Structure 1
Amino acid sequence: MKTTSVSELKSRLSAFLADVQRGEEILIKDRNRPIARIVPLTLNGAYENEESVLVAAGVMTLPESDVLPASFWRWKVAQIDEKEAVRVVRDERDED
């Protein structure tokens, strides 16, 4: 966590906000007394009302991070024949 004074924050606000965007927390002091903290928004703040309702109902949980786990990149990709994929899409489209 970085620490700054009110006057330094005012003069370098853009730089501090860039730090916050990278995940850094900023503690703001006035005469060496902590008065505020700037923290990155959590993912919870990025979701619309519909998702909030689903979370409250216990139907859905929000991700803990917006970064995919390393294991995601090791998953094998399904090998699907192109003609079969086209047939499935057309069949689904024709159902309506």
Structure 2
Amino acid sequence: MKVKSTIYKGIEYVQINALPKEQMDSLMKTINRELLIKILIDDKLVGNCLQFKDYESWFDLVYASEKPAATKAVKEKEKALEAEPVSL
């Protein structure tokens, strides 16, 4: 599920460490690090941010396409387990 964005002074972004762990791990493995940004908020530099448009593109093109394959693999494994005879 996509996370909601945060908007600060017109910058729509997500903080990577605020993503669900599964998304955060996948994103860090697949995203171009040059897309990461830092935002100065109340004299504090907040790093590890990604513009929301880049997050949405990543989610739709990479993360969402990973999920059906993983779901299919789990369903196939469950089906195989159901088909195995159980000996008592």
Using structure 2 for the length normalisation, give the TM-score.
Answer: 0.30
Structure with the bigger percentage of helix: 2
Structure with larger RCO (C-alpha < 8 A, sep 6+): 2
Q: Which has the larger radius of gyration?
A: 1
